[in-house]
Amino acid sequence: MSIIITDTTLRDGSHSVRHQFSKENIASLVSGMDKAGVSIIEVGHGDGLAGSTCNYGFAKESDTDMIQAAVQTAQNARIAVLLLPGIGTVPDLQKAWDAGARVVRIATHVTEADISHEHIEAARKMGFFTIGFLMMAHRAQPEKVLEEARKMESYGAQVVYATDSAGALLPDGVRQRVGLLKEKLSIPVGFHSHNNLGLAIGNSLAAIEAGATYIDGSLGGLGAGAGNTATEMLTAVLERANIPTGIDLFGIMDTATQVLQPIISSLGVTLPKTQDAMMLGYAGVYSSFMLHARRAAERFGVDYRKIIITAGERSAVGGQEDWLYRIAREIAESK
């Protein structure tokens, strides 16, 4: 089983930067994610098509300009947009198609799938890969989530998401909802998590265990509230679990640190420094190794992550920090 990760940095993550991503920012981030192998990249105002208003905050760029900046940059990834009926309209959807978007997520409150009928049907007729997005999934029991998901399926949705918009679900609640959708629907199931209770990764794993094959992430965990599942961390976890995603771990990490971090710093936002800790856990080595690995990497001109991973593969333990310099030299000599 492979997992399709949709990255939402440039849409849900837009909330974190007051919707101020520029066309240049979008192009840079799409380029990095595309090269790393992300297959679906969502862009736009945090509240979706036509969300740039006094109610939700004005975006720096128009919907069309954001979509075109992404489409013109991506070589392989499909560009996605979000539409909330009542904010976005069918004509807005047509404009997004004309600008080059090819995936749309039609989002409603978990008990209001009825209002997505017109938009899902219109999206399918235009040619969009069309996804139903049931928000605030914790507000309804699993049976009700299924009832609403069946409506979206009947309208023509090709995937339906259970969306933990408030980051309120616990893993058992995720399994119950996603598992029932997987059992009863004839289309794939997705899951979108927020980290308000520190469970974004755990809930994403629970969703996968229950049968979800579409999972959302965001670089650095950027997003509304406490943020989303960090794409780079999700990639690392799934790689450890031998679940293919098609994403290059180092490539997506570099996009988060070398591309996103400078952009959001310039916009007055700071990402938590979780990448080093993630690599230690990924490789399963002692926490004190990081300082020495970075020093050895600088001395021998190699990637510190390769040192950490090799140390893990060789079952290095605390007290063997000097081994990292030998590993670094071996890596340098093998180039």
Q: What is the CATH number of the domain that holds 148?
A: 3.20.20.70
287 shares a domain with 252: no
**What gap in Å lies between CA 248 and CA 256, rounded to an integer?**
13
What is the pLDDT at residue 264? 92
Same domain, 119 and 35: yes
| Mean pLDDT of the residues in the chain | 94
Which pLDDT score is estimated for 200?
A: 95
Per annotation, catalytic residue among 15, 19, 45, 192: 15
Taking the C-alpha atoms of residue 284 and residue 302, their distance in angstroms, rounded to an integer, is 20
Let me know whether 257 and 295 are in one domain: no
- Clarify whether residues 280 and 223 are in a common domain: no
CA atoms within 13 A on the CB side of 207: 33
Same domain? 313 vs 208: no
Question: In the prediction, which pLDDT does 70 show?
Answer: 98
Instruction: Chunk the chain into consecutive blocks of 10 residues (it has 335) and report each block's average pLDDT, rounded to whole numbers.
Output: 95 93 98 98 96 91 98 98 96 98 97 97 98 95 98 98 93 98 98 92 98 97 89 97 97 97 89 76 81 92 95 84 93 92
Residue with tokens 């993550």: 13
**Domain final residue pick, 266, 291, 317:** 266
- Distance (Å, rounded) from C-alpha 149 to C-alpha 173? 16
Note the pLDDT of residue 269. 81
Last residue of a domain, which of 236, 266, 296? 266
Q: What is the pLDDT of residue 286?
A: 73
The domain boundary, picked from 225, 240, 266, lies at 266
H-type alpha helices, 2-131? 23-36, 63-73, 90-99, 117-126
The 8-class DSSP code of residue 223 comes to: S
**What token pair was written down for 28?**
């840079």
Are 155 and 292 in a shared domain? no
Quote the pLDDT of residue 273.
66
Residues 6 or more apart from 207 whose CB is under 8 A from it? Answer: 162, 174, 175, 178, 189, 191, 193, 215
Structure-token match 């992404």, residue found = 70
Residues 137 and 225 in one domain: yes
Element holding 256 (H helix, E strand): none
Q: Is the domain of 199 the same as that of 283?
A: no
92 and 229 in a single domain? The answer is yes
Quote the domain boundaries for residue 292: 275-333
| Pair (243, 122) in one structural domain | yes
Together in a domain, 310 and 166: no
Residues 87 and 216 in one domain: yes
18 with 57: CB under 8 angstroms? yes
What totals of helices (H) and strands (E) does the chain contain, helices first? 14, 8
Is residue 15 annotated as a catalytic residue, yes or no? yes
State the total domains in the chain: 2
